[in-house]
Amino acid sequence: MADTLKLVKKISRLAEGKKNLRLMEVCGTHTVAIFRSGIRQILPENVELVSGPGCPVCVTDDDFIDKAIYYARKKNFIIATFGDMLKVPGTRSTLAREAANDARIEVVYSPLDCIELAKKNPRKSVIFLAVGFETTAPTQAATVLTARAQGVKNLFMLSAQKLVPPALKFLLGDESTKVDGFLLPGHVAVVVGADAFNFLATDFKIPSAVGGFEADEILTALKSLLEQIDSGQIYVANDYKSVVTNEGNLTAKKILAQVYEVTDAVWRGMGEIPASGMKLRDEFAAFDIERVEPVELDRVEKKSACRCGEVLRGLVKPTDCPLFGKACKPLHAIGACMVSVEGVCAAWYKYGGEKFNF
């Protein structure tokens, strides 16, 4: 507690006399940790924390959900997914609704579980919904390599893995983005390394700091951001050195490079961002369900007052959405940001996001 108070005092001193500062976290785990610990409320009046596109479920677009539903409706498929994906709305349905209508949908805790699932169901095709960032993609890549090594031929991936650095580049290239510094995602940085974010300092002159997930670790990273803003010396601070190196996890990076190639990807709220996704290399095309059995989507325009896309870019607060806390609640979510436990709307609903007036 003593350290916490010292950090808050230091941040307050550094923020004194400054304009309003907007610091963005881009990791769903940070979002929840920040809300749970009350950090937003104890920061000085002119320091605002905003949430960015850091929740992998939230940034997964409607098309991906529609594709998953397309396969789920076919009798010979089993959809395997993390539980968070079940209630994410596509344009017309959710996987949870499809499960109630007899689709076979299995919740797994690791993509590696899908190997056993495929072996136990040799007459079915198992499709794993491969969403996530650099953090989870190495295990998904390992699953593909293991399936190939074990001769498992009825396991496929529906891929929507995303890369965080290009999304930050996209945000900074958009003039509507108002961010004075980034709290960088500790888990992603473990894999890609702190150096992967050097472009923030060199190309955009934006302060950034890699942070851990305890309250004091987050405050330490926020203090680094304020120090950079105060001194004008901009760099990538690594405040999570116990697990994050400059170069990242070379083994994980090697397996990613072996299995995936970089591709353009569609993000909810941001559209297509160049070189921000991963797809299976041609060598692994037999595991890519979209190449084995291409999807035929009957696209419809979705009409919704949901402002998830703007929330994910830090342009509006969840409470600016007319549905927040009324039609849209965690048990009856209208948008992806309320579905996931790491979603910013869910965090606002559960913990409250407004600052206290001391």
Q: Between 289 and 321, whose beta carbon lies closer to ligand SF4?
A: 321
CB 114 within 8 A of CB 143: yes
Neighbours of 271 (CB within 10 A): 11
What is the DSSP annotation of 127-140?
A: EEEEEE-TTTHHHH
Q: Which of 47, 103, 345, 347 binds ligand SF4 (CB under 6 A)?
A: 345
Is residue 335 a contact residue for ligand SF4 (CB under 6 A)? yes
CB 133 within 8 A of CB 162: yes
Is residue 80 a contact residue for ligand SF4 (CB under 6 A)? no
Which residue stretch of 74-82, 222-230, 250-258, 334-342 sits at the interface with ligand SF4 (rule: CB under 6 A)?
334-342
For the CB of residue 160, give the shortest distance to ligand SF4 in the complex, in Å.
Answer: 19
d(CA 24, CA 22): 6
Look at residues 297, 312, 311 and name the one whose alpha carbon lies nearest to residue 92.
Answer: 297
Is residue 95 a contact residue for ligand SF4 (CB under 6 A)? no
Q: What is the DSSP letter of 280?
A: E
At 272, give phi and psi (nearest 5°): -80, 125
Is residue 337 a contact residue for ligand SF4 (CB under 6 A)? yes
CB 209 within 8 A of CB 224: yes
d(CA 104, CA 113): 16
Q: Between 214 and 320, whose beta carbon lies closer to ligand SF4?
A: 320
Is residue 318 a contact residue for ligand SF4 (CB under 6 A)? yes
Question: Parallel, antiparallel, or unpaired: how do β-strands 125-132 and 271-280 relate?
Answer: unpaired
Is residue 307 a contact residue for ligand SF4 (CB under 6 A)? yes
Is residue 321 a contact residue for ligand SF4 (CB under 6 A)? yes
Which residue stretch of 13-21, 159-167, 257-265, 306-314 sits at the interface with ligand SF4 (rule: CB under 6 A)?
306-314
Question: Parallel, antiparallel, or unpaired: how do β-strands 155-161 and 208-210 relate?
Answer: unpaired
Which residue stretch of 139-147, 186-194, 229-237, 322-330 sits at the interface with ligand SF4 (rule: CB under 6 A)?
322-330
Which residue stretch of 125-133, 176-184, 197-205, 303-311 sits at the interface with ligand SF4 (rule: CB under 6 A)?
303-311
Q: Which residue is nearest to ligand SF4 (CB)?
A: 335
Question: Parallel, antiparallel, or unpaired: how do β-strands 181-184 and 21-25 relate?
Answer: parallel
Which residue stretch of 62-70, 84-92, 147-155, 337-345 sits at the interface with ligand SF4 (rule: CB under 6 A)?
337-345
CA angle 174, 177, 178 (to 5 degrees): 145
Q: Between 295 and 341, whose beta carbon lies closer to ligand SF4?
A: 341
Q: Which of 35, 133, 287, 324 binds ligand SF4 (CB under 6 A)?
A: 324
CB 297 within 8 A of CB 70: yes
Is residue 308 a contact residue for ligand SF4 (CB under 6 A)? yes
Is residue 267 a contact residue for ligand SF4 (CB under 6 A)? no
Which residue stretch of 124-132, 134-142, 156-164, 304-312 sits at the interface with ligand SF4 (rule: CB under 6 A)?
304-312
CB 219 within 8 A of CB 7: yes
CB 259 within 8 A of CB 281: yes
For the CB of residue 321, give the shortest distance to ligand SF4 in the complex, in Å.
Answer: 3
Residues that bind ligand SF4 (CB under 6 A): 306-308, 311, 318, 321, 323-324, 328, 334-335, 337-338, 345
